[in-house]
Structure formats: structure tokens, C-alpha cells
Amino acid sequence: MIEIIPAIDLIDGKCVRLSQGDYNQKKVYNENPLEVARMFADAGIRRLHLVDLDGAKAHHIVNYRVLEQIASKTPLIVDFGGGLKSDDDLRIAFESGAAMVTGGSIAVKNKEVFVSWIEKYGPDKIILGADVKDEMIAVSGWTETTGLELMPFVSTFMQKGISKVICTDISKDGMLQGPAIGLYKKMLKSEPQMYLIASGGVSSIKDIDDLNEAGIPAVITGKAIYEGNIKLSDFKNYL
């Protein structure tokens, strides 16, 4: 059964969504992220993907106070990402209540630091963020495409102990045009042990059903909920 993980993206402490990672295509959905998180918890959801978009831009943690509020005032298991670049950022994230953290750009730009986090905190607490454009890894809030191919990149870190991988197909993100199911199937065929968390493009509960049918372990969904395309009650079969 696929795990449902709603997303809250933060800019200026508010709940927002971008389209294809473009900061100029920003829509504010709620001034109070805690209110949104409580709504998810009340619906029976257990996990939350919290993204510090200010942090991603600033290259250090910014919205840790919001993390602290959500972690202390809801029962949600929060994974936190966006701008985590140093041991200090990680310390702040965990002290603020994150159960897990996601590292994307850092795994590309400073592999040694990322590997040291896996060794220090264990693979249960560290998630690899693999953001892709045409199956090539993209970093820095998706402003930069690297020369790294997706699967060799993921496999490198699985050899270091990583099991959880969030893969976002940038071309799909925030577009409500369906997820990259073909890509995800390919990834699982290559690394069957991976706890793959699909992200980007979910437009309806049918997309979730299709991902579940394809054997994808987990899915992050944001905009489809905020735009009303998916009601929280639609998740009842998965909770």
C-alpha cells in the first residue's frame, strides 16, 4: 500500500507552491502552515514533507521555527529539506523536531559531508533528494542541471546505506499533469530495495491509484490538495 505524504512548501513562513520550481510562479495557499499541518493530521495522515524554499535559496536553514511548531503541536512525522548544507543546519533541523531530513544539492556538491550524515545519523534519518530533468540530476532549487545521470547517482548512495529516495521530475512538478510513472518503474527495476518516494505531477486520486498499482512505495502530493483536485477524504483507502 502506497504511503501518502502531503507537502508543505515554505516561503516567508507561509504555505506556498511553485510551478516547476520557479520562484516567480509562486502561489500562497495559507499564511499559517500549522493550520494546514493540523488539517492533515486530523485526516489521519502520519507523514509530512516540509520544504524550506527560503533555505534552498539562502543555502542554510531558515524556516526552522515553523518546523518546531508543526513537530511540537501535531503528531506528524516530519521530513524536512531545503538548504541543509552544514552539520549545524542538520543539528538545528533535528533539534527543531524533524524525524528525517532530505539532502539533494549537498549530495552533489559535497558528497563527503552527505555521506558523513548517513554515518552519523543512520540511513533511517537521511533521505536522498534526487531531482531530475530528462533523467539528469538538477540542484540549487532546480536552477542548475548537472552532468550526473539519475540511476548511477542514486546507486552510489544506496551503496553508502541510503534506502529512502525522493525523486522529483521537475518537468512535472506543480503542473498537475500526472506523475512520471515510467521513470519510477525504471528506477525500482534498477534498485528494487529502494524506498522510492514519488514527487511531482500528481493531479488526482487516480494518479495515486496508478502509482500504487505500479508498486511505488510512497508519494508526495501538494498542489492537487491545495487546488481541491484531491480531497483529504479521498485518501481514506490508503490511511
- pLDDT reading at 143 higher than 80: no
Question: What's the confidence (pLDDT) of residue 44?
Answer: 97
- pLDDT reading at 186 higher than 60: yes
User: Number of C-alpha atoms within 13 angstroms, CB side, residue 111?
Assistant: 8
Which residues lie below 8 Å from residue 237, measured CB to CB, with a gap of 6+? none
The answer to whether residue 52 is catalytic is no
- The overall average pLDDT reported for the chain is 94
> Residue 96 corresponds to which cell in the numbers above?
527543531
Question: What's the confidence (pLDDT) of residue 196?
Answer: 98
The answer to whether residue 169 is catalytic is no
Domains in the chain (CATH in brackets) are 3-238 (3.20.20.70)
Question: What's the confidence (pLDDT) of residue 142?
Answer: 58
pLDDT digits (tens, 9 = 90+) for 78-101: 999 998 999 999 999 999 999 999
The percentage of the chain sitting over the pLDDT mark of 70, rounded to a whole number, equals 97
Q: 54, 79, 89, 131: which one is catalytic?
A: 131
